[in-house]
Amino acid sequence: MVADRQRGGDASDPEDRKPQSDEAHSAFTPPLGVPLPPPPEDEHPTSEFALPNGVAEPEAEPEERSAFAPPGGRGVPIGVHGPPAHPAFTPPYGMPLISLTKETPWQDRMRTMLRMPIAERPVPERMEKQEEEPALPVPRILDLTLRIGELLLAGGEGAEDVEAAMFGVAHAYGLARCEPTVTFTLLSVSYQPSLVEDPVTASRTVRRRGTDYTRLSAVFRLVHDITTQGLTLEEAYRRLAEIRRNRHPYPSWALTAAAGLLAGGASLLVGGGIVVFLAAAAGAMLGDRLAWLASGRGLPEFYQFVAAAMPPAAMGVALSAGQQYVHVQASAVITGGLFALLPGRALVAGVQDGLTGFYITAAARLLEVVYLVVGIVCGVLVVLYGGVHIGGGTLNPEAVLQRQERPVIQIVAAMVLVAAFAVLLQQERHTVLAATLNGAVAWTVYGALADTAGLDPVPATAIAAGLVGLFGQLMSRYWYTSALPYVTAAIGPLLPGSAMYFALLNFAKNELNTGIASLTKAAALALAIAIGVNLGSEMARLFLKVPGEGALRRAAKRTRGF
C-alpha cells in the first residue's frame, strides 16, 4: 500500500503529466477528435523550383561529359573537323586545336601563328627527354634569329615575311613564348619563359642594305631547313656564315652591261629604234659607273641617284640638239634611262608593308622612295633645264606619246628588260628565265588591255601586276623561296618611266599644270603596280593549302577603322 501510494503520488506529480515530445504544443497539431491529414506525397511540395500543374517534365539529363565538350551536343569538339555551330562568335568550348603540318611552306605556317594570340599558339615540338636535359641556349637562339632577320630585311624582304622567318627560327629551337618586331632599320625579339619569369629581349640594327637576291634565296632555304629538318645551332651558324661570305654571282662589269640592256630595252618599249637603243644603253652604263664612283667615295644614296640620272638625260639632250643630222626620238633615250633608276622594289615593299599592317615600316620605305625619286628629278631637271633654256634643245614629249604598235618587238624588248633587271638584282641564274617569262606575260596582258582593248593604263597596269604577283607567289611556294626574285624584275616593263619623264620635261619648260598631271599619273601607275602585286600574292593563297586543321588564316588587322 505504501508502494502503491508512492506510485500514485508519483503519477499525480505535475512533472509526470508533461508530454513526451513538443508536438503537443505545436500550432499545427490538430485538436482532439479531428483526424490527422494524409501524409504529403512529395518531400518538398512547396519548393519554388517545383513545376506548376500542366507543365511538361524536362527531358532526362544526358550522361556526364567532359567540361571541354560543346554544350547540348552542338558544334565541333576539339580535334574534330568541321565548322562550329556559330562561326560568328567564339565557341564556348574554346578555339579548335591547330595542327601546323610541315608539308605547307614555313611562310604560311609562321604567318598563321603570328596572327594568333600567344596563348593559342601550338607548343614547339620537343625531342625525347634525356636523363639530364640541357637548358635552352636562349641568347644564342635569339642572336641567330636576329642575324637571319637582318639579312632578310637588308635584302628588301617585306616586314611580315621577316617576322615570320624570325618567329620560325625561334619556334623551331623551342622558344614558344617569343615575339619578334620589325621596323625599317630595327629588329628586336623578346622571349618570356613563363608568366612568372622576366623576359629576355635582344635587338639588332640594320646599318647597311643592299640588293642580292641570291643571298636572300639562300637565307630562305636555311629557314626552311631549320623549321623542317631540325638543324642544330652549330649547323645553322655555319651555313649562315657561308651565306654571308659568298660573293655576288655577277661581276661589276656584268651589272654595268645589264644596266645598259635595261635602258635599251625600255627605250624600244616606248617606240625607239636601234640608234635610240644604243644611245640609251651608253647613257645608262655611264650613269652606272658614276653611281659606283659616288658610292666608293661614301656619298649618300641620294647623290648616287643624282649622278646616275644625269648621263642619260645629257645623251637625250645631245641627240635632240643634233636632230638635223640624225632624226631619232631623243625623249625615248631619257625615258629608257629612267627605267633603270626607278625604285620599283622599294615601292612594292612599302605598299605591301602598309597593306599588311606594318605602317611604320611602310611609311619609312615610301619616304625612301620619295627621296630617291627626288634625286632622279634633280639630276634630270638640271640637264633638261640646261638643254631647253641654254643649249636650244627642242625635246618634244608628243613624239613619244604616239606609240607604234609593234607587239613582237615590244615583247622581245620587255624580255630583255626583265632579264637585265634580274641580273642587276643579283638573282640566281635558274630564276632569271622564270622571271623573264613572267614579265613577258605581264607586258602581253598590258598591251592587250591598253592598246587593243583601249582600257585605261592604270587598271590595265594593275591587272598585269596582279598576274605578276600571282605567278610569282605560286613559283616561290613551289621552290620554297622568296617571291621577290620572281616579282621585282617582272614588273620592270610596267614602271611609269614615260609619265615620269613627261612630268620632268614639263617642269623644265615651266608648264606646271601639265607637269603635275603627268606626275600624278606616274604616282597612280606606281600605286597600281604595288597594289596589283600584293593583291595577286594574296589571291595565290586561294590555290594554297591553308595551314592548320579547322582554323582559318586570320587577317592582319580587324579594327575596321576604330
Q: Is the pLDDT of residue 143 over 90?
A: yes
Residue bearing the bigger pLDDT, 90 or 325: 325
pTM above 0.75, yes or no: no
3-state secondary structure of 193: coil
| Average pLDDT of the segment spanning 511-517 | 87
| Average pLDDT of the segment spanning 336-351 | 85
Is residue 309 exposed (0-12), middle (13-18) or buried (19+ Cβ within 10 Å)? buried
Question: What pLDDT, in 10s, does the model give residues 272-285?
Answer: 888 889 999 999 99
Question: What pLDDT, in 10s, does the model give residues 188-222?
Answer: 999 988 888 888 999 999 988 888 899 999 999 99
Interatomic CA distance for residues 45 and 205, integer angstroms: 78
Interatomic CA distance for residues 411 and 408, integer angstroms: 5
Interatomic CA distance for residues 347 and 531, integer angstroms: 10
**pLDDT of the residue at 404:** 65
Select the highest-mean-pLDDT range: 13-27, 72-86, 501-515.
501-515
Is residue 395 exposed (0-12), middle (13-18) or buried (19+ Cβ within 10 Å)? buried
Q: Which amino acid would we find at residue 134?
A: P
Give the ranges where 390-456 is alpha helix by DSSP (H): 398-401, 407-424, 429-447
End-to-end CA distance of the chain: 107
| Cell, residue 152 | 632578310
Question: What pLDDT, in 10s, does the model give residues 347-384?
Answer: 888 888 888 889 999 999 999 988 998 899 899 888 88
Is residue 21 exposed (0-12), middle (13-18) or buried (19+ Cβ within 10 Å)? exposed
State the average pLDDT for the chain. 78
DSSP, residue by residue, 264-282 = HHHHHHTT--HHHHHHHHH
Stretch among 80-94, 220-234, 329-343, 503-517 having the lowest mean pLDDT:
80-94
Interatomic CA distance for residues 94 and 78, integer angstroms: 8
3-state secondary structure of 454: coil
Residue 42's φ and ψ, nearest 5 degrees, are -100, 155
Interatomic CA distance for residues 312 and 338, integer angstroms: 8
**pLDDT of the residue at 40:** 59
Name every residue whose Cβ is closer than 8 Å to that of residue 69 and which is 6 or more positions away in sequence: 77, 93
In the chain, the percentage of residues whose pLDDT exceeds 70 is 70
Q: Decide if 288 contacts 264 (C-beta within 8 A).
A: no
551 pLDDT band, cuts 50/70/90, is very low
